[in-house]
Amino acid sequence: MQKITKYVLLDILRNRFMIAYTLLLLLISFSLFMLEDSTAKSLLGLMNVVLFIIPLVSLVFSTIYLYNAAEFVELMLSQPIRRRVLLTRMYGGLALSFFIAIFIGLGIPILLYATSVQGLLLVLAGTALSLIFSALALLASVITRDKARGIGVALLLWVYFAFVFDGLVLLLLFQFADYPLETPMIVLTMLNPVDLSRIFLLLQVDMAAMLGFTGAVFQKYFSGITGQLISAAVLLMWIFIPLWLSIRRFNKRDL
């Protein structure tokens, strides 16, 4: 049933918004590499694109796409197709098209200007965030029937992960300033894929100093192979848990 993925992929790749998104990424990447003289600085700039724009676009585009595909879903489900298969294949189509957009928009400029481990990790982090946020979009669209509400939920999720979460963490830090918070901080970081990717990337470009004294703890944790494996596993969980919840919900849903 890879055919469903194929149809979704072909449909999205022709989508004007997706083409514009790819071109925007390409434009930002090239201008950052041409404006900054050191590639490390350009990569840092690109990191912010990865951390803010990619989650936002993945969430909003996926949510709108999934709501607009309601007819397609209905048509497919009256055919001999399993619900789980339909949902995962549609997600697969979305994921693949985001990967293609990131590969063209970020991957190619990085390959041209800064072929390095850091560059590769940036592309990987962008892909991971796309997959995570489209999985969250899938969950939002399966849970709420109303399109406007679904998009609202998606935007709130983005605001939460991009801004609110950091505020809450800061609040917690001030409240418990008297206690050693290094280990709890690592655990808290795991609860936000954006933060996790940010810290992971910052440490890779040797910017740990920007993180203050907690940075030292992070440095120790994330530069070890165990830390890196755990972070990767946590990012994967951020993909699979929303996906699993969506399938569970979708299996019980009336059309």
Partner 1 sequence: MIEIKSIYKNFGRLAALTNINLNLLAGETIAMIGPNGSGKTTLIKTLLGLVIPDKGDVLFNNQSVLNQWQYRERIGYMPQIGRYPDNMRIGQIIDMMVDLRREKAGKTDLELMKSLGIDRILDKPMRTLSGGTRQKVSACLAFMFHPDVLILDEPTAGLDPLSSEILKEKIAREKERGRLIIITSHILSDLDDLVTEVVYMQDGLVKFHKKVEELQEQTGEMRLNKVMAVLMDPYYDPVMQ
**Residues that bind partner 1 in the complex, under the rule CB under 8 A:** 1, 3-4, 7, 11, 14, 69-72, 74-83, 251-255
Residues 157 and 154: their CA atoms lie apart, in Å, by 5
Tell the smallest beta-carbon distance from residue 71 to partner 1 (Å): 4
Contacts of 190 by beta carbon, 8 Å cutoff, 6+ apart:
196, 231, 234
Least distance (Å) between residue 10 CB and partner 1: 10
Cα(17)–Cα(126) distance, rounded to whole angstroms? 18
Cα–Cα distance between 87 and 101 in angstroms, integer? 21
Q: Pick the closer one to partner 1 by CB: 117 or 252.
A: 252
Minimum CB–partner distance for residue 82 and partner 1 (Å): 4
| H-state helical runs in the chain | 2-13, 16-35, 39-48, 54-68, 70-77, 83-102, 108-113, 117-143, 147-159, 165-175, 182-190, 193-204, 212-223, 225-251
Task: Report, in Å, the least distance between residue 7 CB and partner 1.
Answer: 6
Which residue lies nearer to partner 1 by CB, 64 or 211?
Answer: 64
Q: Which is nearer to partner 1, 11 or 166 (CB)?
A: 11
Of 14 and 179, which CB lies nearer to partner 1 in the complex structure? 14
Q: How far is the CB of 147 from partner 1 (least distance, A)?
A: 15
Q: Give the total residue count for the chain.
A: 255
Residues 6+ apart with CB under 8 A from 87: 138, 142, 246, 247, 250
Give 226 or 252: the residue with its C-beta nearer to partner 1.
252
